[in-house]
Chains A and B, each alone.
Chain A
Amino acid sequence: MTADGADDATTVGERAGYLDLARAVLYREYLLFVRYPANAVGGIVISVFFFALLFYGGRMLAGRAVTDSIEGIVVGYFLWTLSVGAYQSISSDIASEAQWGTLERHVMTPFGFAPVALFKGVAKVVRTFLTSTIILAVMLLITDTTLQLSAVTVVAVASLTIASVLGLGFAAGGVAVLYKRIGNWLNLLQFGFILLISAPVFDLGWTRLLPLAHGSALLQRAMVDGTRLWAFPAADLALLVGVAVGYVLLGYVVFRYTTRRARRLGVLGDY
C-alpha cells in the first residue's frame, strides 16, 4: 500500500515525466503545423496583406510621417501578430478542446491540468513565433527597412512580453468553457492589444503594469535602437518579468475558478 491508501499498481510501462509531457505536447503541435500548413499560411498571408494595406495606404495619406516611423510600426505590428496569435491560439484551443470532447481527458491527467495547459500554451507561442518571424521578414522586405535583430534579446523580451497575453488567453479560455459560444466577444479583446502596444509608458508610468505595454517599449528599444538584453536597466527587466508572471498567474487563477465553476455546474465538456 502507498501512503495515500492505494495499493501498488501493476505497472508495465515507465512513468513519464514533465519532459516527456512537454515533448508530447510540442510534438503534437509540430505535427499539426507541418501536416496542415494551410491555416498557418493563411494567417501569414492575411497579416502581410493588412500590413501592406497599412503601409502603402499610410504612405499615400501621410507621406514621410509613415516612412520616418516605419521601424516602430514594423516592431509594433510584429508584436501585435505575436500577441494575437498567442492569445487566440490559447483561448480558442481551450474552447475547441471543450467543444470537441478532449478537454476532459486533459483534466484527467496525473500531471494536473495546469502543467498540460502551460505546455500547450508554450507550444502555441513557439508556433506563433515561427509565423510572426516570417511576417516580420516580409514586412522588412516590403518596407525596405533594417532592424537591429539580436535573436537572444528579441526572443527573451518578446516571450516575456507575450506571456502576459498568454495569461489573458487562459482567462478567456476559462470564461469560454464556462459560458460557451462567446468566442466573438473574446476576440474583440485582441483589438485592445493595439492600444496596449502603443500605450504611452513614458508619459503615464502606471501603464507599464498593463499587459504588453512595458514589453512593447523594451522591444522597440531592442529592435530599433539595438539595445541588448544585458544593457537594459535591471529594474526594467524585473518589471518585465513581474508583469509576465503576474498576468500568467492571474490568468491561471481565473482559469482555475471558471473551470471549477464549470465542473460544479456540470458544463466542463458539454456544449
Chain B
Amino acid sequence: MPPQRTRPRESTGASASTDASESPPALAVEGLTKRFGSGADAVTAVDDVSFTIDRGSVVGLLGPNGAGKTTTIKSILGLVLPDAGSARVRGIDVHANPRTAYRHVDAMLEGARNDYWRLTVRENLRYFATIKGVKPRSLTDRHERLLEKLDLLEKADEPVRSLSRGMKQKVSLASVLASEADVVFLDEPTLGLDVESSLTLRRELRRIVEERDLTAVVSSHDMDVIEDVCDRVIVMNEGRVIADDSVSALLRRYAATGFSVTSADFTDDLLDDLRARFDVVETTAVDGATRVEVATDSDGFYRLLDRCRERGVTLEAVGTVEPDLEDVFVELTGRER
C-alpha cells in the first residue's frame, strides 16, 4: 500500500503561520554562505541561502549531486563553519549558542551509520537521548511508542548489527527522534532501502512528524519521498536556492500542462503529422492502441481533438497528464537526476 498523502499544511517560503508573530520560526536561515578553497580554485558550495521554516512543517531539500544540500544542512548545524550568514533554531543562533540550540535540533546525517551497531536498539535510544540532554528513563514511554510505531519493538533488545538494512535505517531515525529535539534534519533517510522499506519509513515518518508536531528538513534524491512526506520543497542548484514553495504550487507553476489521447487508429504517418503540429512528449503502446502525450494548453488540446477528428481517428480515451516533482526538478535545474 502506498502511503496516504496527507497535506495538513500548505506553506510557502514567504508565508508564515498564524502564531509566527508570537514565537520564532522553527528554523530561520539568513544569507548562509560557504566557500571551499581559495583563489581561482574556490568553490562556493552554499551561496547566500536564506529561508524560514514554520513549526510543524516538513520541508524537502532537493537538488542534483553537488547542489550544496548537505553542506547547507551541516552549515546550519555548525558542523561546517559558514563564511557568512546565520541559522536560528527556535530563535536560538546555532553558531553563537550551539549548546542551547543543540537541545532542540538533531540530525540523521550518515544514514544507518548514525548510531552504534554493537549496542541494542533500546540502548542506542537511551544513549543518544542522554547525549541530547534528556534523562532516558523520563522518556521510556515515548521510546516504547517510537519502537512500536517503527515496528522495532520485537528487535529492541537485539544489537543493531544483526538487523536488516531497512531496520538499521529505522533505528537511525528512531535514535534521532529519541530525544526532545523538535527540529530534525534527515539527509537521505531512505537511501539504499528497498521499495517496501522506503514506503514504510516515509509513512511512519509522516505520522510521527504530525503527532509530535516536529519540524523536519528532508534531503533526498528520491522525488517520491519528497512528494509523499513534505509540505514544501526548497530546490537548490549550484549552492543557491532556485525555488521555494509548496509541492502543489511548484507542480502548478513549473510543470507543463499535458494531455493524452489514446486510439487504435494512430498510424506512423498520422503520428508524424501530430509531431509536426504539436509538442508530442511521448507515444506509448497500450493494449493494442497508442497513447499520445502532448504538452499543450487547453486551446492546443482542442486543436489536437479537431485534428484527430479531421483525420478520422476514433479516440478511445482522453485525459490530462499529471506532472510530478521530477518534471519540476528537470525544468528547474535543466538536468536529469
Contacts and interface: CB of A to CB of B under 8 A. Distances in A.
Contacts of A264: 80-81
B277 interface: no
Nearest to A264: B81
Most buried by B among A1, A13, A28, A263: A13
A100 B119 CA distance: 14
A269 B111 CA distance: 13
Contacts of B93: 4-5
B135 A266 contact: no
Contact of B102 (A1, A36, A109): A109
B327 to A, nearest CB: 32
A106 B115 CA distance: 11
A188 interface: no
A31 B79 contact: no
Contacts of A23: 130
B110 A101 contact: yes
A68 interface: no
Given A4-B100, A15-B133, A110-B132, A28 B90 contact: no
A7 B24 contact: yes
**How many of chain A's residues touch chain B, expressed as a range?**
35 or more
Contacts of B119: 28, 31-32
Nearest to B116: A102
B180 A24 contact: no
Interface residues of B, number: 54
B126 interface: yes
A13 B105 CA distance: 15
Contacts of A20: 130, 135
Given A108-B107, A268-B80, A24 B130 contact: yes
Interface in A70-117: 100-102, 104-112, 116
Given A6-B24, A9-B104, A269 B110 contact: yes
A9 B180 contact: yes
Contacts of B123: 28, 31
A116 B71 CA distance: 25
A100 B112 CA distance: 10
Interface string B42-79: 00010000000000000000000000000100100111
B134 A16 contact: yes
B133 A28 contact: no
B114 interface: yes
Contacts of A36: 118
A11 interface: yes
Most buried by A among B79, B100, B159, B182: B79
Given A6-B90, A101-B113, A263 B79 contact: yes
A179 to B, nearest CB: 16
A257 to B, nearest CB: 13
A36 B133 CA distance: 28
B91 A108 contact: no
B97 to A, nearest CB: 5
B131 A9 contact: no
Interface string B126-156: 1111111111101100100000000000000
Interface string A1-29: 11011110111111110001101100010
B36 interface: yes
Most buried by B among A1, A28, A264: A28
A265 B34 CA distance: 10
B81 A260 contact: yes
Contact of B130 (A7, A9, A16, A108): A16
Given A6-B100, A100-B113, A101-B113, A109 B77 contact: no
A59 B29 CA distance: 70
A82 B107 CA distance: 36
B34 A266 contact: yes
B129 A7 contact: no
A270 B288 CA distance: 53
A266 B118 contact: no
B320 to A, nearest CB: 44
Contacts of B113: 100-102
Contact of B135 (A5, A14, A263): A14
B79 A110 contact: no
29 contacts: A2-B100, A5-B91, A6-B90, A6-B91, A9-B90, A9-B103, A11-B180, A12-B180, A13-B135, A13-B136, A13-B142, A16-B133, A16-B135, A16-B136, A21-B131, A28-B119, A101-B109, A101-B113, A101-B114, A102-B114, A104-B79, A104-B109, A105-B107, A109-B99, A111-B131, A263-B79, A266-B34, A266-B74, A269-B110
Interface of A: 1-2, 4-7, 9-16, 20-21, 23-24, 28, 31-32, 35-36, 100-102, 104-112, 116, 260, 263-266, 268-269
